Amino acid sequence: MYQTNYHRASSVDDAVKLLKSSDDGKLLAGGMTLIAAMKTRLAAPSDLIDLRHVGELKGISVAGKEVTIAAGTTHAEVAAHGELARACHAICHLASHIGDPHVRHMGTIGGSIANNDPAADYPAGLLALGATIVTNSREIAADDYFTGMFETALEEGEVVTAVKFTAPDQCGYAKFPNPASRYALTGVFVARRGGEVRVAVTGAGDDGVFRATAIEEALAGSFDPSALEGVSVSADDLMSDIHASADYRANLVVVMAKRAVAAAKG
């Protein structure tokens, strides 16, 4: 790891100030990706601004169907939150399968979506839920927020402070984990509100998380795994790598969508 300068932010405003006064600073949430990237010298920020001790970035609130998760909330906290599980079990299920128990004690929802790894779980959840990403300066719809592989709509000096969404009528998440890394080789989150179904796919796209419209249309007619019999997804914009070909991932998208719907119907 190259040299860096560590700063501990006391508030979001303080973090923004520290970030702006640094040469090439980065915000440090749980660090489960950033520290590993720094160790391999894939990242070399001049300054790290630690958000882990910022009180205003902690906590989950559930009021009826309205859910707000502060950006610094860890995966373990999301996974174990009883009230959230009653409102939207699938998001807890998703969080409980990120990495491993030790990673889930440090990694945060804000860190995950600020990084927008193409195989991370939360981007699929938030896109399918039609969530709103709240920052220190504005609110961004998930549809506009995830702009590509490791790319988001965040501007310089902008900090994710929370995500919020209205719990859908039914939702489910299924992922086929890479057997080595446990990142999603393909993960599919489905959410139904009345007759509207949103389906988001992570791990498979060539340019990060995306909505699978063919699957959405099939499920809008009948929210049942059987509605996906014979439905196929084009492999054109999917990823091919040593782990799986685009064709294999295209098949997995449909299989995982079926499992996600089955999970949603519980």
Partner 1 sequence: MSKVEMMVNGRKVAGEVEDRTLLVHFLRENLGMTGTHVGCDTSQCGACVVHLDGKAVKSCSMLAAQASGSDVITIEGLAAGGELHPVQAAFKEHHGLQCGFCTPGMIMAAVDMINRHPGGLDEKTVRAELEGNICRCTGYHNIVKAILAASGQMSAGAARAA
Cβ proximity of 189 and 171 under 8 Å: yes
Which has the closest alpha carbon to 143: 164, 129, 159? 129
Which of 36, 61, 86, 144 lies at the binding interface for partner 1 (CB under 8 A)? 36
Residue placing its CB nearer to partner 1 in the complex, 179 or 195: 179
> What is the C-alpha to C-alpha distance for residues 210 and 199, in angstroms, rounded to an integer?
8
As given in the structure block, the two tokens for residue 135 are 């920052």
Note every long-range contact of 4-8, with CB atoms under 8 Å and residues 24 or more positions apart, other chains counting: 4/38, 4/44, 4/45, 4/46, 4/47, 4/48, 5/46, 5/47, 5/48, 6/47, 6/48, 6/50, 7/47, 7/48, 7/49, 7/50, 8/50, 8/53
Binding of residue 85 to partner 1 (CB under 8 A): no
Name the 3-class secondary structure at 184.
strand
Which has the closest alpha carbon to 169: 82, 62, 256, 89? 89
The residue range among 93-101, 163-171, 186-194, 238-246 that interacts with partner 1, by the rule CB under 8 A, is 93-101
Residue placing its CB nearer to partner 1 in the complex, 11 or 251: 11
Residues 96-125, one symbol each (x = binds partner 1 by CB under 8 A, - = not), give ---xxxxx-xx-------------------
Residue placing its CB nearer to partner 1 in the complex, 51 or 252: 51
Binding of residue 50 to partner 1 (CB under 8 A): yes
Cβ proximity of 25 and 46 under 8 Å: yes
Binding of residue 220 to partner 1 (CB under 8 A): no
The residue range among 25-33, 115-123, 199-207, 236-244 that interacts with partner 1, by the rule CB under 8 A, is 25-33
Cβ proximity of 60 and 81 under 8 Å: yes
Binding of residue 82 to partner 1 (CB under 8 A): no
Residue placing its CB nearer to partner 1 in the complex, 37 or 214: 37
The residue range among 33-41, 132-140, 141-149, 194-202 that interacts with partner 1, by the rule CB under 8 A, is 33-41
Residue placing its CB nearer to partner 1 in the complex, 25 or 205: 25
Residues 2-21, one symbol each (x = binds partner 1 by CB under 8 A, - = not), give xxxxx-x-------------
Residue 92, phi then psi, degrees to nearest 5:
-70, -40
Cβ proximity of 185 and 191 under 8 Å: no
Residue placing its CB nearer to partner 1 in the complex, 34 or 257: 34
The residue range among 95-103, 115-123, 216-224, 237-245 that interacts with partner 1, by the rule CB under 8 A, is 95-103
Chain positions 157 to 196 lying near partner 1, rule: CB under 8 A, are: 182
Binding of residue 52 to partner 1 (CB under 8 A): yes
95, 96, 97, 99 alpha-carbon torsion, rounded to 10°: 80
Cβ proximity of 176 and 183 under 8 Å: no
- Which residues contact partner 1 by CB under 8 A? 1-6, 8, 28, 31-32, 35-36, 38-40, 48, 50, 52, 76, 99-103, 105-106, 182
